[in-house]
Every structure is written in structure tokens, then in C-alpha cells.
Homo-oligomer: A and B are copies of this chain.
Amino acid sequence: MQNEKDKLANSVVAHMMEHDAFSQWMQVKVLEVSEGYSRINMLIRKEMVNGLGIVHGGITFSLADSAFAFACNNRNNLSVALDVTISFTKAVIIGDTITAEAKEIHNGRSTGVYLITILNQKNEQVALFKGTCFRTGKKLV
């Protein structure tokens, strides 16, 4: 059974996902949401590759960035990305399903830090993403 905080978290993410045109284009699926946490995935399609025939780095980043946004905004405190770093550790190809899991490292009053792990369908890590957000104090819903 979800507690009140996790219910709010799920409502906020449902609202975000409904308006998030780019996550919709990526066909992101929301797998699990709780306070300060999210886990999402998507299938890599042929529109997502770069000039080297592997997935465009921006696609892997984008999935992780959506997971980051869903985790850092879900207390209904509108938060925007300040700084993000990503390390790419394994190539992703068409047909892979990649999953991004966002965990909260620090929940400050004005800022927050999140670590997002991106795995492929074999549970191999393909990238590691660290994001810092700024909390505006505004509500989303």
C-alpha cells in the first residue's frame, strides 16, 4: 500500500508524463515511482541512432534525464536541472531496452542531487548519470 507521499509522487509524475511530449516520443514507460525515486524504461528504435550506427548519446541521456526529473520533482516542488554529468560505459543498439533508475543522494532545501543508473536488458550498465537540481518552491499540480 502506498503512503501519502508516494501517492503524491505518483500523481506528480503522471501529470508530468502527460505533458512531456519528448518522453512520449521516446515511448518511455514509467515502471515505479516513490518519493524522491523513479524507474522508467524504453525500447531503442531505429530513429534513435547516431552517425556511428549506435544509439545517439542524447537518447541515453534523455531517458536518464526524464528519470531524474520524475524523481526530483515528485514532492511537488518544481525543480530544474542545473548540472548533469554522464559517463558512457557500454554501447546501446537498436532493439535494446534500457532502464533508468533514479535514486536521491541529497534532498536539500534549495538543491538536490540524484544518481541515475542506466542498464540494458541484460542488466549490463550502459551509463551512469549524476544530476543536481535547483528547487524553485513552486508547485507542479
Contacts and interface: CB of A to CB of B under 8 A. Distances in A.
A5 interface: no
Question: Could you say how many copies of this chain the assembly holds?
Answer: 4
A51 B83 contact: no
Contacts of A8: none
A2 interface: no
Contact of A22 (B23, B49, B83, B88): B49
Given A51-B69, A80-B88, A105-B128, 19 more contacts: A16-B50, A18-B51, A22-B48, A23-B50, A56-B65, A57-B65, A57-B69, A58-B58, A58-B59, A58-B62, A58-B66, A59-B62, A61-B84, A81-B88, A82-B132, A85-B130, A87-B130, A105-B125, A110-B134
